[in-house]
Amino acid sequence: MKIYNIVFSPTGGTQKVADIVAKELSQNIEKIDLADINLSEQVLNGDLAIIAMSSFGGRAPKVAVERLKKINGNGIKTIVIVVYGNRAYEDTLVEMFDEAENNSFNVIGAISAVAEHSIVRKYAKNRPNIDDELQLKSFAKKINEKLNNSNNIKPNIPGNRPYKTFKGINLIPKTSKKCNKCGLCAQKCPVGAININNVAEIDAKKCISCMRCISICPQKAKKISKLITFLAGCAIKKACVIKKENELFL
């Protein structure tokens, strides 16, 4: 079975979840990175697609949605996966379902999964963990059963239409003296917000606060101030202290 693993994962948590599910279903996997600023248009031809995105403030990331529009699903059976940092995914999953269907993907299932919060790392720390992996693999087995039974019933996915208003996340990373100007952050920024000639310069209008530059910097030179991180943690503490469980919708 050929699977397309179509993922937007700035800090790696969403990729981990998508990989667990994909590898349980098949070893014939083609990865498509929605964080690739040079992603080209294409038409799919395979057995199954997985579309996985991080939740941004309860919505699907705008840049990921726009890049998904470059991909014609060509009627391929599809699983959509939202990954969030233990706060809430709100309307992200239903928005992903709608966008996938609009691009000729045939969505037959959905998953919500928890990964370490990309900003306040103490929430859902080290998730997905071993227990998550076992559960996600069990989800994959149930998905495979649905595929084998040729069951095309649409899943009942939680969320609201119209979607909630996305208010933005205005957290712009700063660059410390540890920076050796390797340029990796600029090369890998999903929206091209970092000046390749001066990596300390970040375009605040382009930056989506995805935290990729922080997570991939070899020198740990990119960061959000401890005060801002503390305040962000306080703001979401009530919603994050209770451990959220992964969910399967078939």
Q: What is the pLDDT of residues 37-76, one digit of tens each?
A: 999 999 999 999 999 999 999 999 999 999 999 999 999 9
pLDDT per position as a tens digit, 149-168: 988 899 999 999 999 998 87
Provide mean pLDDT across the span 165-180.
90
Q: Quick one: pLDDT at residue 192?
A: 96
Is-contact 136 24, C-beta < 8 A?
Answer: yes
Rounded CA-CA distance 37/210 in Å is 14
**Which pLDDT score, from 0 to 100, does residue 203 have?**
95
Residues 179, 180, 181, 182, Cα dihedral to 10°: -120
Do residues 17 and 114 lie in contact, with contact meaning Cβ atoms separated by under 8 Å?
Answer: no
This prediction's pTM: 0.95
Query: Cβ neighbours of residue 231 under 8 Å, at least 6 residues apart?
Result: none
For the chain, which domains are there?
A: 2-162+244-249 (3.40.50.360), 174-223 (3.30.70.20)
Question: For residue 233, what pLDDT band results from cuts at 50, 70 and 90?
Answer: confident
Give mean pLDDT, residues 26-38. 97
| Per-residue model confidence as pLDDT tens digits over 109-132 | 999 999 999 888 888 999 999 999
Q: What is the pLDDT of residues 69-97, one digit of tens each?
A: 999 999 999 999 999 999 999 999 999 99
Backbone angles phi, psi at 225, to 5 degrees: -60, 150
Average pLDDT, the chain: 95
